[in-house]
Structures are given as C-alpha cells and as structure tokens.
Structure 1
C-alpha cells in the first residue's frame, strides 16, 4: 500500500524587474522556520543570475532559465514539480520565484492542474514592488506590474527608504485590492511567519471574494514584449568606466544584474544591480572560481546587442 502524503504548500514570489524578489527569497530561506524548502528560480535571460544570488545552501534548487516561467518554460516547471513531489525525501515547502516579466496567475493555474491537485496546495502569492520606481512604469510595463498585483494575496511595498510618503500613499490608494495583506519595508525585511503558512490563497479565492481572478487563457508572450541581452568576459573591468557605461545605457533598458571582475578589487566578486536610473556595485566574497564578468540586461522593444557589447568592452581596464 503506497504511503499517502499531505499536499506540499507552495508560495509564489512575483514582482516587476528589480523590485527585490531575490532579496525577499533570501530572507525567507535564512529565517528561523525549521522547514525543508525547495526553491524554483526563473530568470528571463540566458544566464540565471538569480540562482547565484541565493546565499542559503540548505535548500534544493531548481533553475528555470532563458525564458518566462508563464510562457516558454512552463513545460520545465511541470517537469520539475513532478520531480520534487516524487523525491523520497519530499520538501516540506516549495518557493517559486518568477522572473520580473512573468504573470504569476499562469503559474498558479499550473499549480492547480488536476495532476497536482492531491500533491500541491497554493499557500499564497506574494507580489513585491519597488516603491520608488513603480509610478514610472507605463504602457505594457505598468499593465504587467498590475497583473502581478491583481493575483497577490500579500503585497510587499519594498524600498520605502527611497520613496516619499506621498508615493507610498498614492500607490496604496490607486493600486491595492482591499483584501490584500500589505507590508511596507526596506531591503525586503519581513518576518518569515508573516509570509509562510498563511493559507491566504484559499481564503482569497473563496466564492465570496471578487476581483481576485486568475487568467487561465494567458495568451501573452513576454519574449515578444521584452528583450534580454547577456554578456560574459574573463577580462578585468575598470570600476569608473563601468559606472559611466551603466549610466549611459539606452532608455529602453530597465534592468541589469550580474557579477563583475574589477581591476580595483581582483580577488573579490562584485555584484551589479541596475534598476531604472539606480546603479549599485557592491563587493562580495572572494572568488571561488576563475574570475569572470556575467551580466544580464532586460529592456523592451529591441536591444541593440552590438551597441551594448561595445559599451561593455570599452570598460576593460
């Protein structure tokens, strides 16, 4: 007689490019929760930078790269979920970090397929937003960010230290659904017990709730709306040249992230984050492998790969 298992709770972490999803994921993984967690990370570019940014070594990691989890890599998501629930030592919890251009409603629909009905249960959908940059999104970017919010059970208003009180209040009044549980924070600093084991998804999807609908007929293709450019090199870069190049990027490039090999600090890996006009370059731990540069850039319409390649090669020290 086969052993029966309780459904594994799943939390989906979504949010637009650069909102702080990976920071929030790290907060959860390193929190005092005592759970054996499996993590699925989706990055839109060819290089899965997010999986390298996760600092906890205690969890099982599944990488879903080079495509959007709600479009081109959905079959990979289904395959990897089957593998997780078939493990002899099954995880006690699953976290799915979607890419910044994903619509989480399609991921939720996948989790609710009949094949997973007895195996998985959606605990909550978390949407994290950048309090400072959200108001600057327009057109398709704003629509996508709003789609992410529309399915959220928990909304984390992040980076409040960079936004004004008026910006935060305006966001609350214009964009939040009344049932959403909302937290304001800096550096995604939220107690784990407020995010895991909430069972908010089932509550918010009861028949008495309105406005919280998943779009099962997701016909968008983010590979057409957004463009990505990946760059790798093993030559050291000049910090001043790199800062200048990142400040001169085209307006349709919104997000850049990765690691760089700097001549000024050759023994340490340096992390790069660019969101809108904000650029951060931070020194991390010593290189555990041969130093190299790995950068992923995401924008809309067409990114001029030749121009970006030349701009980065001009940063060689």
Structure 2
C-alpha cells in the first residue's frame, strides 16, 4: 500500500519544552475509544507514553492499548509515514509530536508535499506559567512566537496551578502571536480528543473577543434568565453537539458560579472576584444558543 492509497490524516502537536505535550498525548490515548491512533515521536528516548498503555515493544514500533501504536520518525519522516500506511489496518489518525524546539509550520509544509497525506492542523501547547517569559526571552522568544504563529489551536496548559490573572495574561500574550487560532484552556491535559484531531475546524475564533466569528462558527454572549443550577446548565451545553466552547458566569440560587464547557467536557467552579454574569458560547451554527431546559 502506498501513501496515496491511504489519505492519512496528521495532526502536528507542538509547543516549547515542558509545555505539557506528554500529558496531552496520554490523555488522547485514554480517550481513543476504539479509534486507532498512531503517535509519532522524534526519538524513542523521549517516549511520551505511560507504561500501562504499552502492550508490546519492538525496535521501530510500540503497540499500545486499543489498537494504537507509537513509532519514531527520527531523520526520515517519509519512511515512517510509509510504515504507518503499510499497517493493516492503517491508523485512523496520526498525532505527530514535534520536538520542543521544532517549527511546526515547516513540518506541516513538508507533510503537504507528501502524496496521500492530509494535515488536519497544528496544535500548539503553551504553559501559562512560562509563556510570557518565553516570548520575552532573547534566545527562545522567536522560536516560541513562530510556533504560536503556526497554530490552528492553542492549548493553554497547567491552568489548574495558575491564578485567574496569570491565565488571562498568558492568553493575551499568546493572542498577539497566534492570529485567528482558537485558544482553549486545559487543566492536567484534559481536552476533548476531537479538538486535537481536527484543529483546523476551530481555527476561526478571535482570541479575547466575545464576538469573534467566521468560517461557520458563531460566538456570542448569553445571559441565562433568572437563577439556574450551574451543573445542569453546563451539562446541557456540553450535550449539545453544536457547542464547541463555553465559558462564563451564571447566577445560581447560591450565588454566582463559573462554568466552562469544551466539547463534551464541563466543569463548575468558584468565580473570580467581581465576576459579571454572562456566558461566551462558541457554536458551529449561526443561531443563538437558547437556555437549556430544566436549568
């Protein structure tokens, strides 16, 4: 089988050293649910896979739970992709983890020249505690900025150990370099698998603007009528297939609560000081999101 026979989909996963790529890769594998994922890493010496997910190891290929695999592409990306294409059955999707100092735009350009390969997009991770300093660093700032500039989706990582003001500053710093890429938060690598597999579908949100729009996405601010149950409201939004992202504050009988929804995942937490009621909702259709029933 040749590459032109397969039409392999590849997502490039990038981010500077320590951004959290290893954590995210393992979360993706645990979410695979029968989808055959192939993880491609530069060297097995930097293997990002948790030991409990590994079923068998060979010189060039590691078999993982659920039919997933991991391989090293080293200096010959084309040969490694050919190996993926020759598998029976071939993987459903490839996640190519770039090294921490690699430029994802160059990798994506190379993939675009290969027959039968389709780049699903570029996902770049940014550690909210480090990204501002990295961008300002004389030695690595340009590399980090160019990584962000190639992104279809930027994932702010380690938000669970950062304060709200730090997350906000990091998001604003990232937004200066990533164009129209969608910016999402992911605590402990928790992110819906489909967002990583198809980031180009989401690369249309103007970061920091509650009314950014384009290419089929509708972004608006909704204010639920009257007090609602925050968990019921967030769960109902998460169950709507058209909702990509929602975040904001709702009034409940017990006071204001913060909700966050990413694809089918949701959470409710205490609000920051002086939080204003309103929820920013990014959806795949152009119609307003009505208040969920029984909220």
What is the rounded CA distance, in whole Å, between the counterparts of 2:15 and 2:78 in structure 1?
21
Contact 1:24 1:189 in 2 (8 A): yes
Contact 2:132 2:173 in 1 (8 A): no
The correspondence of residues 92-111 of structure 1 with structure 2, limited to 5 A, is: 92-111=92-111
What corresponds to 2:42 in structure 1? Answer: 42
- Relative to the length of structure 2, the TM-score reads 0.57
CA distance 1:37–1:130, shift in 2 (3 Å): same
Contact 1:122 1:202 in 2 (8 A): no
Aligned length: 189
Contact 2:152 2:199 in 1 (8 A): no
What is the rounded CA distance, in whole Å, between the counterparts of 2:163 and 2:30 in structure 1?
30
What corresponds to 2:84 in structure 1? Answer: 84
What is the rounded CA distance, in whole Å, between the counterparts of 1:132 and 1:141 in structure 2?
16
1:13 alignment partner, SS class? strand
What is the rounded CA distance, in whole Å, between the counterparts of 1:145 and 1:10 in structure 2?
22
Unaligned runs of 5+ in 2: 54-63, 206-213, 215-295
Q: Deviations over 1:177-221 (max 9, x none)?
A: 3421111121111111222235438989xxxx9xxxxxxxxxxxx
RMSD: 2.8
Give the CA deviation at 1:48.
1.1
What corresponds to 1:123 in structure 2? Answer: 120
Unaligned runs of 5+ in 1: 66-72, 210-317
Using CA pairs below 8 Å that are at least 6 residues apart, which structure has the higher relative contact order? 1
Contact 2:156 2:171 in 1 (8 A): no
Runs of 4+ more than 6 Å apart: 201-204
What corresponds to 2:197 in structure 1? Answer: 196
